[in-house]
Amino acid sequence: MLDRFFIRFSLVFLGALACVVVFADVIQPHDPLAQDFLNRSAGPSAEYWLGTDTLGRDVLSRIIEGARLSMIIGIASPLIAAVIGISMGTTAAYFGGWVERVITRVTDMMMSFDPLLLGVLIVALLGPGLQNLAVAIAFALVPSFIRLSRGSTLAVRQEAYVDAAIAMGRNTTGTILRHVLPNISGPLIVMTTIWVGTAIRLEATLSFIGLGAQPPMPSWGNIVREGVSDIFGSPLPALFAGLAITLTVLSFNVLGDALRDWLDPERRNQ
């Protein structure tokens, strides 16, 4: 019963968040960049529902605008990582030999770094900015997709229907697309869903330390940073932006767990 409650809450929350992202320009009560110096660090009111920050900007409008950036980075980065990682992982497992050895060694080297540390290194090399941030997060997630897709492909590669497809003259690309990928898609979909939450967390962390979205562009990470820097004057930005990050990451993790149970026949029948 409790699991169903969390799943339903996650679906409702993510659905509402999607509507916020799509209609952000319509539902924002104020311009997220507009400054009201007469109401700096103000508490919640009829005009500013979640109060204002140290520059007099509406916290609610900035969180809504930050949701758009966080969701774009959070969804785009895992998808880019999935395309690259699945391509490399299936190629390594299917062909084997020196191709597999090279890809495996590179993956092991990348996996030795924490995703956050790897993201910091890449952003430090490329410089701050949204495109560089998306590339950095995607690059940090690629090794996990390589490892999972390689392991799953190794198991499927031994199946009789794959050997039958090869014996019938189907080319390598057709065999992978028609017989390998559909049969390893379940765990990859689950991983992609869970890594969306991780990508949002990484984006917020990198923005918090100044390597992500640059002011005055709002993102949940730099809203938290601005709130922490003025924690005694206006703690509301850090509080509400942190709550948005927590609920979003939690919702994607719950959704990923639910998909894992739904796609696994043994768990589904328990």
- CATH number, domain containing residue 245: 1.10.3720.10
Nearest to 186 by CA among 115, 86, 81, 77: 86
Residue type, 26: V
User: Using CA atoms in the order 204, 127, 31, 248, what is the torsion angle rounded to 10 degrees?
Assistant: -20
pLDDT, tens only, 192-207: 888 898 899 888 888 8
Q: 43 by DSSP, 3-state: which? A: coil
Beta-sheet strands, E only, within the chain: none
Q: What is the largest CA-CA distance in the chain?
A: 77
The sign of the CA dihedral 54, 56, 59, 64 is: negative
* Mean pLDDT lowest among 156-165, 248-257, 258-267: 258-267
The structural domain count of the chain equals 1
Is 31 a member of any domain?
no
Is 28 a member of any domain?
no
Is 45 a member of any domain?
no
Residue 43 CA to chain centroid, in angstroms? 32
Q: What is the pLDDT of residue 181?
A: 80
For 187-225, b/e burial (b = at least 16 CB within 10 A) is bbebbbbbbbbbbbbbbbbbbbeebbbeeebbbbbbbbb
pLDDT at 128 over 80: no
Mean pLDDT of 59-76: 90
Is 71 a member of any domain?
yes
| pTM score | 0.85
Is 75 a member of any domain?
yes
Is 207 a member of any domain?
yes
Main-chain dihedrals φ then ψ at residue 52, nearest 5 degrees: -130, 165
Is 211 a member of any domain?
yes
Parent domain of 71: 51-268
Is 9 a member of any domain?
no
Beta-sheet strands, E only, within 30-72: none
